[in-house]
Chains A and B, each alone.
Chain A
């Protein structure tokens, strides 16, 4: 299941010379420019960078929530739009974005209803994915009755219920406290190891990026571009203890150097 070399892995996301320019009243804003990136099957890739570096925008381009203005991008070998219409990915947003009028189980079932699955199939997938994120027993609760961490877990279950091979996560744990975040990071790693999905993860936390990723992409702002791509040689099954090892600290150091180079304190 886990490939250490990844040499013959299938490319899931292929980005070449991609750029995205927003037209605003103050003139064009270059959100992304000259992005080249290849993400292979089974990779756990983190985008890290200061705010405004375009990491979320890049993820939204992959998800077809933004259209690039130049360059090439393919997801699963097709355009992002075709991939979206084929429901090729699950997307986890910065906040849980659960619908308050639906119970947790019905929130998880929402994409399945839209896909037109039978009610037996829906019930089965809801049960399985809620177990996966340790939310069994909370099926009939409403989102506002749950803590922030549980809500975010429910939103991950919702993304997983689609059973995509590709998981796109936009700072999913950004609003949670350190302890809950550690716990969810560990759970996410176990999940990834169990299912061998490809994960693209946006974060601005260095420990989080290094702990989770097989590949860390450091981005620069104005215009958003890739500064460094760090292949992590940490073993695939990790525990939180790995954060104390010299190998971990070495990678974290390299990420920090990259981030520091991207920060300009002139303005």
Chain B
């Protein structure tokens, strides 16, 4: 695991790594004699910042020269990146809109260091499945953290107005202090409107798809109507649903039903038709009846299509419920909160709601994908 294993990685990847390492060293050196913040000392003279270029540069030199045990050096790079990030975040916190070239050089070095670490990490040749999976999770997680750090540094360093884009720290603080409100909104919009609308929309579309498949005149009659309904603009439908079903969540669930119905219908109908002739002939030779053919052949064949629709609908449902709340709602709900807080210039609250929506949407999508893997383990796209 020492320097020798470095040669095991691809020549090109090692080349990229070395270039990155030297670029970090160069940026760290450049930053030293420059001022970090307006009216402040140079980086080398600043007690808050001087450690960062030295540590980053030192780790990068070790890496560029291939000295020391490989994984230890990689982890040291991560450690000094964390230290540098903390230093930069603390320093910029008291210097809103005052960042100068020394600071930006260090941000550049930090950005390259994080890139370099991920580059190195993806080159680790681990054999155990658990370690592979851990690295598979760690890389996107690190990427997410670096995006947040860069966002924070850029917004404060450049002095971007919080109304245009608040720093993640402000969003996080608002998130933490508004948990009861966010939870109430989440309950109203997600647990009631989205989940109930999704279940009813997908469930009824599934049943209708079975009917459409069995009865030919329904296929010719219902499919075009379904197509027409799916083409209706949500901003036109939502106010009508509010008039029909009132201000509370049922009107939002109705919008979600309208949005999720058609994707599920067409996908299920297509899935039911996807069994090939030989597979169906097989059932004919067994003298299987309609229901046996449906349950033992056509529904399993339709599962990949059905899960496709369920995944599409998991995101459509959330969008539908949030947008529908713009057109009349009791004083709770994610869409209601977004529209009112935007009006009050409380952009950090809007972002907090967006974070909740992103989190809920991702978890929802992830759960559906997990179910898909369980039920369609046999499909070429899943079994790999």
Contacts and interface: CB of A to CB of B under 8 A. Distances in A.
Given A63-B285, A111-B286, A97 B378 contact: no
B296 interface: yes
A84 B285 CA distance: 6
Contacts of B285: 63, 65, 84, 89-91
Of B278, B285, B376, B377, which is in contact with the most chain A CB atoms at under 10 Å from its CB?
A: B285
Nearest to A145: B383
A99 B297 contact: yes
B4 interface: no
Interface in B297-313: 297, 300
Contacts of B278: 93-95, 97
A143 to B, nearest CB: 8
Interface in B94-149: none
Contacts of B296: 99, 110, 113-114
Interface in A234-259: none
B292 interface: yes
Given A99-B297, A99-B300, A87 B282 contact: no
A86 B287 CA distance: 8
A138 interface: no
A115 B284 CA distance: 12
Contacts of A63: 285
Interface string A53-75: 00000000001110000000000
B243 interface: no
Q: Is the interface of B mostly helix, strand, loop or mixed?
A: helix
B379 A100 contact: yes
A162 B286 contact: yes
A93 B378 CA distance: 21
A114 to B, nearest CB: 5
Interface in A86-133: 86-87, 89-91, 93-95, 97, 99-101, 110-111, 113-115
A100 B284 CA distance: 19
B282 A97 contact: yes
Q: Categorize the interface residue count of chain A.
A: 20 to 34
Contacts, number: 51
B74 to A, nearest CB: 38
Given A93-B278, A95-B278, A113-B296, A101 B286 contact: no
B378 to A, nearest CB: 4
B282 A93 contact: yes
Contacts of A90: 285
Nearest to A83: B287
Contacts of A64: 284
A142 interface: yes
Contacts of B355: none
B286 A93 contact: no
A26 to B, nearest CB: 21
Nearest to B300: A101
A148 to B, nearest CB: 15
B284 A114 contact: no
B383 to A, nearest CB: 7
A91 B286 CA distance: 9
B281 interface: yes
Contacts of B283: 114
Interface in A157-192: 162
Given A99-B297, A101-B300, A114-B292, A144 B378 contact: yes
A261 interface: no
A65 B284 contact: yes
B333 to A, nearest CB: 41
A65 B281 contact: yes
Most chain A C-beta atoms within 10 Å of own C-beta, residue among B286, B376, B378: B286
A205 to B, nearest CB: 21
Nearest to A111: B286
A97 B279 CA distance: 6
A84 B287 CA distance: 6
B1 interface: no
Contacts of B377: 101
A52 to B, nearest CB: 18
Interface in B247-306: 278-279, 281-288, 292, 296-297, 300
A142 B279 contact: no
A7 interface: no
A190 to B, nearest CB: 24
A85 interface: yes
11 contacts: A65-B281, A95-B278, A100-B378, A100-B379, A101-B300, A101-B376, A101-B378, A114-B286, A115-B286, A142-B378, A144-B380
Given A110-B296, A144-B380, A162-B286, 6 more contacts: A65-B284, A65-B285, A86-B287, A93-B278, A97-B278, A144-B383
Those 3 A-B pairs whose CB atoms lie nearest each other, nearest first: A100-B378, A101-B378, A91-B285
